Structure 1
């Protein structure tokens, strides 16, 4: 590639954590700028996440509708969840989320793309997987609670989701990134050119 993101870490002269929550925290760093001045930067510290664009044999994407309190909306999303354990294998986490949220499993897994959701104010990294060869999971469904108890599920053709994204009707970050990335893949080198499901992820290193 002609351009790519590169690791870099500027000097931090002081750091404090004024808030620690259940899953995330807020950190304040004093960072030395290129001109020698020191600037204070507040940001959310996040364990990382995985998301799954699950594509069925009819070319439909499995989506979920869930209430998101910070934005006061019910959003259509793709299955996603936190990396609950430091160093957790992201593929295993993605398989778990697909089962728990949709009661579905997949036989074919690829890395679709890796993103930082809001790098100006949060260090969250998300790995978006493409999952194919879907089937229903046998046995009891995972017990849901809180917002997930009101969750809806649908399967929507990929072009319809792209249309909704471009029309400003769909806003979830992982859904937007996932459907546009897959559209580019299908118009380009195809799914076989994607990285394998166990591809390295420098943003969240893991053991295979």
Structure 2
């Protein structure tokens, strides 16, 4: 992503948090390509955080399966393995509906206002934005907002990690998948259901979204 600049889950946070989010978003959108070595100095300069926060961030990102460290060789962006798609989709098919229904039940008034505004933004994007990467950035944002609104930080943590891995797969095939705008546009109905307290409908739409993602990727393999 130029950078997938999404709202920070850390609420500002430490320099290590900022480094983590900045590097994570570059990895997720393949701005740092799979297998590419991680340049600590360049990232520290680019992010303005210094080398120590970058190194702390990389340790966290290794736990997220986004980087891998090799003794005496350095740290590298992990490969995108299409064989992981079934495993990731299996988890998301169970947990995305749980998060969507949880958001429909638990979201605060402020959450619902924010999600309603986001639904309006997505509806406009679908019709007006040709940049597929920008559409995908908004897809990531919607997912993260729903996870947060569900009110379960442990569920949020798991799903953010899985969505990050799924987005890397999507990015790998972005130029070959014809219906990116439609896929992102599905979020309008999902967000509307959450805002309207329709938990069962939100869960079903979230499941259809995950299944559609896997089907779209497999169609171009």
Q: TM-score, normalised by structure 2?
A: 0.21
Bigger relative contact order, structure 1 or 2 (CA pairs below 8 A, ≥6 apart): 2
More strand by share: 1
Higher gyration radius (CA): 1
